[in-house]
């Protein structure tokens, strides 16, 4: 998790350069700032592979220099002025609210990260809690795994029969006298 870091150079959350080839699983990048505003910067000649990532609140979420190779699978983008710059190859793009809790990285109700990840073989989360929850569901995107269910798209509810029982006639108000 890379949270609210400040840096005087590009890649305020993460800077990848040289022959580095990191593969990052279940990363939450939130509110990193400084320099050119990029949360992640991958320099020429370097490469990075991200799986199940939340990129939240950056001037530029992920920046790839010319000659960098950046591959991202199942990323939730929220609140960035610009999500990507340069050649970022993306599959499983997710949008919607990260809906973090007050700490800025745990997932709250309605988060678009809930159960939208790929099975990356990660058995727990940053709290040491089991991933996935409930067992057998798709993992959450980002560093936290929550037992919360994903938001449900608005759908028509099935019709339900309604039975109304009227009180016995004797208890009705008296009819007007004739």
Where does this chain bind Ca ion (CB under 5 A)? 125, 127, 129, 144
Rounded Cα distance between 63 and 122, Å, is 26
In this structure, the chain runs to a length of 178
Residue 115 vs 144, nearer CB to Ca ion: 144
User: In whole angstroms, how close is the CB of 108 to Ca ion at the nearest point?
Assistant: 11
In order, the DSSP letters of 92-161 are S-EES---B-TTSSSB-TT-TTTT-----S--B-TTS-BSSSSTTSPPPSSS---SPPPPPPP-PPPP--
Tokens of 56: 């939240």
User: In whole angstroms, how close is the CB of 72 to Ca ion at the nearest point?
Assistant: 22
Residue 119 vs 124, nearer CB to Ca ion: 124
Tell me which residue has its CB nearest to Ca ion: 127
Residue 12 vs 132, nearer CB to Ca ion: 132
User: In whole angstroms, how close is the CB of 111 to Ca ion at the nearest point?
Assistant: 12
Residue 62 vs 107, nearer CB to Ca ion: 107
């Amino acid at each position: 998790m890379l949270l609210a870091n400040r840096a005087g150079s590009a890649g305020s959350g993460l800077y990848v350069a040289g022959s580095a080839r990191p593969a990052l699983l279940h990363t939450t990048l939130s509110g990193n700032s400084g320099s050119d505003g990029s949360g992640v910067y991958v320099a020429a000649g370097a490469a990075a592979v991200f799986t199940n990532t939340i990129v939240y609140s950056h001037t530029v979420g992920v920046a790839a220099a010319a000659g960098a190779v950046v591959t991202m699978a199942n990323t939730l983008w929220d609140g960035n002025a610009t999500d990507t710059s340069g050649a970022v190859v993306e599959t499983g793009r997710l949008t919607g609210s990260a809906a973090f809790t007050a700490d800025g990285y745990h997932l709250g109700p309605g988060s678009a990260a809930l159960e939208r990840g790929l099975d990356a073989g990660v058995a727990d989360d940053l709290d040491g809690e089991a991933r996935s929850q409930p067992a057998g569901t798709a993992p959450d995107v980002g560093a936290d795994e929550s037992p919360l269910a994903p938001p449900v798209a608005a759908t028509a509810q099935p019709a339900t029969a309604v039975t109304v029982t009227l009180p016995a006639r004797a208890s009705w108000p008296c009819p007007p006298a004739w």
